[in-house]
Homo-oligomer: A and B are copies of this chain.
Amino acid sequence: MTTDDPGPWEPTDAFHVFDTTLRDGAQREGINLTVGDKLTIARHLDEFGVGFIEGGWPGANPRDTEFFRRAREEIDFRNARLVAFGATRRAGTDVADDPQVRALLDSEASVVTLVAKSHERHVRLALRTTPEENLAMVRDTVAHLRAHGRRVFVDCEHFFDGYAADPGYALDVVRAAHGAGADVVVLCDTNGGMLPARIGAVVGDVVAGTGARIGIHAQDDTGCAVANTLAAVDAGATHVQCTANGYGERVGNANLFPVVAALELKYDRRVLPPGSLAEMTRISHAIAEVVNLTPATHQPYVGISAFAHKAGLHASAIKVDPDLYQHIDPELVGNSMRMLVSDMAGRASVELKGRELGYDLDDRDLVGRIVERVKEREQRGFTYEAADASFELLLREAVHGGPQRFFRLESWRAITDQRADGSVDNEATVRLWAKGERVLASGEGNGPVNALDRALRSGLERTFPQLARIQLLDYKVRILEGRHGTQSTTRVLITTGDGTAEWSTVGVADNVIAASWQALDDAYTYGLLRAGLRPGD
């Protein structure tokens, strides 16, 4: 069912990929976006090629109002139209006097999504008004925005529960929105309790019963948001509301990436500009960085584990033909296949990994020794799955039968002081040997590890000017045994780069500074190897 040739792209209104990361997605626990973050994410989403970007609720909070102003001035959208989100007018008031509706017009967004109640119980309990007044609120607000030249989508909140409770009223709300000029009526599974079969049946009924153009907004509370979205499309929906990486309240929203990947690769349906799909992994991770969440390693299509193989059984089959164990070519979505080194991996995995790194490991004893060494280190908490550079150093040392090092540590000391005035000092001293010389160097930093890193660099740069181009990019700390307070073992993963490539190294100790030291040692050693140096040069 997959395809390598998505065919010609014509920007079309026939199918809407509607992103609400900046509005509904921002409600995920742990996400807290600045205006700058929202502008950056909007650029990524526009580049990715979604048709609509729901930017927030102008008027509801100052940040969103400012976002729409700055987006107008600062972003030249290539693919997406910016959408303002708001609610129907207040009960018993004139829509023209509603400040919230005015703020939607003031946002100057050409498209507006209105949230409307379609569940009679919610109308009474949350809006505290009558079903009839709610219908009038929908009609008036849609008509008012249309009269001001806006394109209007209507989100029917809790539609599926409402339809179960009172199908007649739920359909009346859809007809009211449609009749007043809404382009799309979006059926929302607001509390996320639905399953695909039910979604498909209801969407089918509504399409047949109202003639309105139907959209779907699914939440992931049953773990079926992607499938619910596709079930709605199967039943005639032509507008899908999603969020990047599935961010959203509670469990989250339908994840944009598996939804568009399924449409493009499984349905052979063009919903993105040509080439966009191959940027999907990069854009997913970039957005995760902006919202300051680690990219989900096991996310479909774009997770770093999505095409990672470790079972010995599979590894040997993959040597025969990778397609045997992959449903698509990872490159279609900008991801890649990875062989994992782990104690579950037999020789086949280590051989493949070695080949990936450019070593032809035909010596069975050598491979055996490497597997043993990996097992022994992983017992102690090391992980080579996440630290390719440390694994390659281990591999080199096994292949060359000795340490592949450019410097040797003698001792170090890190001191952190908080003074009575609250200011904090960090100072580190390292004693090491490089090219037969003993080097003593010290450094200051904003933390003990940073001070140690600076001391190490200043000590080595005299001997190895190549280090000037090498930079620490990311630093992760994980406490391995939880439930032991601050006495747990600490694993540090460091990502380092030299402008052309990045590599990861690992250190494990019961001490965060000692673990960091090991990872720094590997990071700089690998960097010098990449710079072309060889031990003994």
- Chain A residues in the interface with B (C-beta under 8 A): 1-2, 26-30, 32, 61, 121-122, 125-126, 158, 164, 190-193, 195-198, 220-224, 226-228, 230-231, 234, 246, 249-252, 255, 258, 261-262, 266, 289, 292, 297-301, 303, 305-311, 314, 317, 320-321, 324-328, 340, 342-344, 378, 383, 385-386, 409-420, 424, 426, 431, 445-450, 453, 471-488, 490, 494, 509-514, 516-517
Contacts and interface: CB of A to CB of B under 8 A. Distances in A.
A366 B252 CA distance: 32
B512 A27 contact: no
Contacts of A261: 222
B310 A249 contact: yes
A325 B27 CA distance: 14
Contact of A487 (B327, B446, B482): B446
Contacts of A301: 221
A220 B300 CA distance: 7
A155 B517 CA distance: 47
Given A196-B231, A258-B223, A310-B29, A511 B2 contact: no
Given A321-B125, A424-B509, A482 B445 contact: no
A431 B438 CA distance: 37
A411 B289 CA distance: 35
A298 B266 contact: no
Contact of A29 (B191, B196, B297, B424): B297
A473 B224 CA distance: 35
A505 to B, nearest CB: 13
A517 B193 contact: no
Contacts of A485: 450, 453, 471-475, 494
Given A486-B472, A486-B475, A29 B305 contact: yes
B448 A416 contact: yes
Nearest to A254: B223
Contacts of A193: 1-2, 266, 327-328
A418 B431 CA distance: 10
Contacts of A262: 195, 222
